[in-house]
Amino acid sequence: MSKLRFAAGLIAGRLALNTFKLLGKDYQTDRLGYLPVKICPDFATHVARPKAAIAITGTNGKTSLTNLISDILKQCGNTVSCNNWGGNYMGGQSWAFLNSVNVFNKSQVDYIVMETDEGDSAITYPVTKPDYILINNIARDSIFKNPNPDFIMSRLRKAMEGTPESTLILNADDPVSCFLKTNKKNIYFGIADLGNGTPEYLINDFRVCPNCGGTIKYLYKNYGNIGKVVCPDCGLKSPEADYLGVEVANNHICIKEPDGSINRYPTISGDIYNAYNIVEAVALFRTLSIPADKIAEAIGKVKLPSIREERYQGKEIEVVNRSLKNSNGTAATVQFESLSKLKDDMAVILMLDEVTGNNRVEAITWMYDSDYELLNCDHIKQIIIGGERCLDHKLRCLLGGVDKNKISTCKMAVDTFDYLKLEGIKKVYILYDIYNTERSHAVFEKIRERID
Ligand SMILES: [Zn+2]
């Protein structure tokens, strides 16, 4: 019966997919992925496997990493089926499988690459049974999404019971997710101590040892709460990284392999969290036996997806337009920390109100999970806040010690441009909620014209 259901699901799905393609309709949609699932609930389980099915999950950075991995595999000459529009629930994942085979269930691609939702993993992984599961990090998320890391970890542990033969590629420097297990040997990636010390942030979701209840001690933090931990009472400690970033510069990173050899790779931005993405991707590709020089060449040709970040260097001023995961204290702190470490005098534009769906703009609790204190530094000369909640952000900045004379506010995000003062400024950073893409892009374009 299940064979018949699968055949019916496959035929219906492929027919619909091919029709969408023929008619020039947008065929990259969850809708088409749900069609075969309605007929055969475990559709993906029966789809013929390519060389590997790769699942990417985690709280922050999974869309960027999914695009990066898919793009690098393509640059290395592979064909890939990927739900890279952010369709990370069952529909999008099932689409990646449907798109990977023909109507006779013959695989037509080298790899399936899927962005996957961490909260839904206990439902999807037992069906998709990925060969590799990559987890960036698990952190406190928006209260509308996956807010409690303990709960998300319980879902991931349940997911692993349903796919015990998957190989996990884990961030050795994320204490929340690094202790996850399957029947296979884990592969760990990480970055050596970069000398930032152990700054305390408002959010720290790994304070208590899960083994003995002792107080966890950080040995170092490379950004946010990403670093090495140890429990002084029972000896629990972060695993050693098989793939370790040993030298991180603005434009390259050197990664030590399990056999001790070190290879150099380009980076896609100077930001530390993107350096982690490169180490994570390299850990996967080297495990897939892709030569290091080929990976390095491919990384040199890929870019961050423009929906996540765009940059423009004018004659004297650089403008950066960067998305920030909505209503998420962890993501905000990481971005504020990143700006605080830059040296150039800069103006910062914040468009952080989530403006779509059920009036979510009402939610401001996340602001008190975010370290606005990091914006209180000499080189940040101006902070312009645009959006319905501009006064709440201003209050949070003031509580964080930011000089009130540096702050401007306006209710319309696009009006932030009118307040921008460029004298003596080397950089302008726009940080925007992912649902403010059009508004922030409009401001980015206006600044671009002005600094040319
Ligand atoms: Zn302990």
229 Cα–ligand 1 center, Å: 11
Say if residues 360 and 390 touch (Cβ distance below 8 Å): no
* Residue 354 binned pLDDT confidence (cut-offs 50, 70, 90): confident
* Same-domain status, 347 and 447: yes
CB 116 within 8 A of CB 37: no
Instruction: Tell whether 56 is covered by a domain.
Output: yes
**Domain assignment of residue 103, yes or no:** yes
Helices (H), 40-185: 43-46, 62-75, 90-98, 121-128, 149-162
pLDDT at 415 > cutoff 70: yes
Give me ligand 1 centre to Cα 179, in Å.
Answer: 13
CA–centroid distance, 233 to ligand 1, in Å, is: 5
Q: Are residues 235 and 99 in the same domain?
A: yes
For 96-130, the pLDDT digits (tens) are 999 999 999 999 999 999 999 999 999 999 999 99
Supply 266's token pair.
């380009």
Q: What is the pTM of this model?
A: 0.94
210 and 359 belong to one structural domain: no
Task: Tell me: pLDDT of 362 over 60.
Answer: yes
The proportion of the chain whose per-residue pLDDT surpasses 70, expressed as a percent, equals 98
Residue 216 maps to a domain:
yes
Q: Indicate the range of 23-27, 275-279, 358-362, 364-368 predicted with least confidence.
A: 358-362
Quick one: average pLDDT of 347-354?
A: 92
Q: Do 183 and 120 lie in a common domain? A: yes
Say if residues 61 and 139 touch (Cβ distance below 8 Å): no
Q: Which residues surround ligand 1, an ion (CB under 5 A)?
A: 209, 211-212, 214, 231, 233-234, 236
- Is residue 304 assigned to a domain? no
User: Are 151 and 286 contained in the same domain?
Assistant: yes
| CA gap 334, 201 in Å, rounded | 10
Predicted confidence band of residue 306 (pLDDT cuts 50, 70, 90)? low
Q: Which of 270, 299, 328 is the last residue of a domain?
A: 299
* pLDDT bracket for residue 359 (50, 70, 90): low
Q: Using N-to-C axis directions, what is the helix angle for 121-128 and 90-98, rounded to 10°?
A: 20
Side chain identity, residue 408: S
Averaged pLDDT, 321-342: 92
Does the structure show a pLDDT above 80 at 82?
yes
Cα(213) to centroid(ligand 1), Å: 6
Boundary (domain end) residue, out of 252, 281, 299? 299
User: For residue 196, how far is its CA from the centre of ligand 1 (angstroms)?
Assistant: 25
In the reported structure, the alpha carbon of residue 170 is separated from the centroid of ligand 1 by a whole-number distance in angstroms of 21
Is 7 within the bounds of a domain? Answer: yes
Q: By residue range, what is the domain housing residue 99?
A: 2-299
**395 phi/psi in degrees, rounded to 5:** -60, -40
Question: What is the rounded average pLDDT of the residues 436-442?
Answer: 92
Asked if 148 and 192 sit in the same domain, the reply is yes
Last residue of a domain, one of 299, 319, 334: 299
pLDDT at 2: 85
Q: What is the pLDDT of residues 204-260, one digit of tens each?
A: 999 999 999 999 999 999 999 999 999 999 999 999 999 999 999 989 999 999 999
Confidence category of residue 269, pLDDT binned at 50, 70, 90: confident
CATH value at residue 285: 3.40.1190.10
Instruction: Provide mean pLDDT across the span 263-283.
Output: 94
Would residue 254 count as lying in a domain? Answer: yes
Do residues 160 and 274 both lie within one domain? yes
Burial annotation 260-269 (CB, 10 A radius, 16+ → b, else e) = eeebebebbb
Indicate the number of domains in the chain. Answer: 2
Q: Are residues 127 and 228 in the same domain?
A: yes
Residue 307 pLDDT grade (very low, low, confident, very high; cuts 50, 70, 90)? low
For the chain, the first-to-last Cα distance in angstroms comes to 65
* Percent over 90 (pLDDT), the chain: 88
